[in-house]
Structure 1
């Protein structure tokens, strides 16, 4: 991956410093385990699917805090399973973080066939949604503040 210099954007934008810092922090050394997909499942719905073969529900934890979703996996010690002669199924501990946009929240998560599905939904507050402004002819009207 190439390194991009975002310093010109810092000089010409206001309020995007968090986004630019996040883009700046992305580099080619990002961990690749476990593999995952991010997909859009609806207009305001998303799903993260992580391949977590060998991990059970008790081995996984999810935490959403301050626009960051953290997924951790730590395999519990197996008792009396026998001697492993070859280990091809990865079971190493991991921690993967996903930066969530404003108004995106975790709707639920479930484990199925070695895949962890995390459903996300974006809920834009009514005050932030676009609204139609009525155009009238004649004298200008005083706009009154709504009382909510």
Structure 2
């Protein structure tokens, strides 16, 4: 009798939680979207896209761009010195390989000259609130689609 009573209490305790399954499932879906998990973005075109990353430090600002055109990619690093106001840049070119939501960038030329160690980035394509991002798998940096960014600021 005691086991039956404990079992009944257990099921009565679980019943309200089961009704909140849809709410819990919605929360999990949003968290997965934030992490970039379980998104099916194979049909999203990244051709002719430009992604931007800006880092602001005390003494300088770093702006980086990834420009994708078909299988070709251009990776640009720009450094702005706050003290002198001078800007320097590095322009790398190379190619990409895309497998579902993963994009591998390999830039093996610096201003059209072969370099011995190419710049390599592995990026995860994600989408949040209709904005397309590339998340660097190694550093967790988020590259935002320039079109999405300029739409928001207008």
Q: TM-score, normalised by structure 1?
A: 0.28
> Counting helix residues as a fraction of each chain, which structure ranks higher?
2
> Counting strand residues as a fraction of each chain, which structure ranks higher?
2
